[in-house]
Amino acid sequence: MTGRLDGRVAVITGAASGIGAGTARMFVSEGALVVVADMQVEAGQALVEELGDRARFARTDVTSEDDVAAAVDLAVSEFGRLDVMFNNAGIVGAVGRISEMPAEAWDNTIAILLRGVFLGTKHAARVMIPQNSGVIINTASTAGVMGGLGPHAYTAAKHGVIGLTKSVANELAPNGIRVNAIAPGNTVTAMTASVTTGDPNDLEATNARIASTSPLGYAGVPDDIAAAALYLASDDARYVSGHTLVVDAGQTTAGMVPNRINIGSSRQIHEAGRTS
């Protein structure tokens, strides 16, 4: 690796699995110190053990302001500063027809996908403004740039993430803080496996199905999104702010829209593809 993040401190929400875990590994390999912030305690602690003394775990519910503030404060107390905040935690959330969707399921989805990004951005800014530097990265989705690619609450929240990213980038630019979003297309994770196959552990079938709809002929994996986050976190993107980087093999620009998510009956899809 190239040491593009040598000595920098990052908090990554949703870092115990999927894109977050891939990003945590890549950031540490590039020299960063990382706080793994996630509700999945066992998986998060296992990842920190794997990464060694360059990582810490914070049990974090991103809908809780106290939890998000504590994860940021842990980075500062353990590593001395905060250079990168990656607001990545997410779920598919409420799935079903708009006429049948429970308001509680809608509210829970918006809380995790949009309130969580707001809280992460707020508390990162609290630390970054006095140091006059920092990078905030938010996970959006191709469902945030087009309609018909995801469930209704998910799509609404991801559009909101992109709008919040642009708005905050404008406010924080005078403080030397860059704010960007990443919009992943279909990526092979437990969450997409749950949607695609009904089994969050069936990554092989998920890979094959995503590859079959990809203009490039192969599926995106967590490292593809982690590489985008690495770019935005590094000095290579020093003049990039307020931008949404779409990482989708060209599906949203080539007119090759994947099959709409199966709406089916009302339900919720949570972290790592768990359903209720």
**What are the catalytic residues?**
154
- Give the DSSP letter string of 81-109: ---EEEE-----EEES-TTT--HHHHHHH
Residues in the chain: 276
Q: Using CA atoms, how far apart are residues 196 and 177, in angstroms rounded to an integer?
A: 37
Strands 33-38 and 9-13, sheet pairing: parallel
Q: What is the DSSP letter of 2?
A: -
Q: Using CA atoms, how far apart are residues 139 and 162, in angstroms rounded to an integer?
A: 9
Q: Using CA atoms, how far apart are residues 113 and 162, in angstroms rounded to an integer?
A: 11
Q: Which of 183, 112, 92 is nearest to 145 (CA)?
A: 183
Do 121 and 164 contact (CB within 8 A), yes or no?
Answer: yes
Q: With left for phi above 0 and alpha for psi between -120 and 50, is residue 74 left, alpha or beta?
A: alpha
Q: Using CA atoms, how far apart are residues 271 and 191, in angstroms rounded to an integer?
A: 7
